[in-house]
């Protein structure tokens, strides 16, 4: 799949205010970086979980009144059947994006990471926002330096 076809698919999440990222082991690093980028640019609130924890109760976050939630499924349905089962169970009205990777090796992790960054770029562009424009709080440096 090309960058342009991914971007057109990713725009499905332009109107959501909360994104649930459901990831497998291959997409773990990409999911963490995706969470960071979306939070730093104030594009969305984000939760990250594996399929088991999402199905064990985190899915209830999709039902929060007044919150438009979407889902990012990151990984391979063929190598992670639980991820595919979660995708099949989601109601059609919930916007979703699948960041597909072909396998389970390091190359696939890097592919997933690049596609996750394309997702941030697509959501930011659809909202007229610069994804590189982080919006730190005045007290954010104190938190960072005190760790």
pLDDT, one tens digit per residue, over 63-91 is 888 889 999 999 988 888 899 999 999 99
| 31 and 116 Cβ atoms separated by less than 8 Å | yes
pLDDT of residue 7: 75
Cα-based distances in Å from 18 to 78, 110, 139, 141: 27, 25, 24, 25
Condensed to tens digits (0 to 9), the pLDDT of residues 86-133 reads 999 999 999 999 998 888 899 999 999 999 998 988 888 888 888 777
Write down the pTM of the prediction.
0.86
pLDDT of residue 71: 95
Residue 73's DSSP bridge partners are: 22, 98
pLDDT of residue 2: 66
The β-bridge relationship of strands 45-49 and 69-74 is: unpaired
Length of the chain, in residues? 147
pLDDT of residue 47: 92
Q: How many CA atoms lie within 13 A of 9 on its CB side?
A: 18
Phi, psi of 10 (to 5 degrees): -65, -25
Condensed to tens digits (0 to 9), the pLDDT of residues 1-55 reads 566 777 778 888 888 999 999 999 999 999 999 998 888 888 888 999 999 999 8
Inform me whether the pLDDT recorded for 146 exceeds 70: no
| 71 and 62 Cβ atoms separated by less than 8 Å | yes
């Amino acid at each position: 799949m090309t960058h342009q076809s991914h971007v057109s698919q990713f725009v499905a999440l332009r109107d959501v205010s909360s994104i649930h990222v459901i990831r497998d082991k291959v997409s773990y690093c990409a999911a963490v970086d995706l969470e960071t980028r979306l939070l730093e640019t104030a594009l969305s609130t984000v939760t990250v979980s594996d399929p088991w924890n999402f199905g064990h109760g985190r899915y209830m976050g999709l039902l929060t009144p007044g919150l438009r939630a979407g889902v990012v499924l990151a990984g391979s349905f063929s190598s992670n059947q639980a991820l595919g089962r979660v995708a099949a169970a989601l109601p059609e009205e919930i916007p979703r994006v699948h960041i597909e990777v072909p396998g389970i090796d390091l190359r696939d992790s890097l592919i997933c990471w690049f596609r996750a960054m394309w997702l941030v770029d697509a959501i930011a562009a659809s909202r007229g926002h610069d994804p590189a424009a982080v919006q730190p709080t005045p007290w954010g440096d104190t938190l960072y330096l005190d760790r």
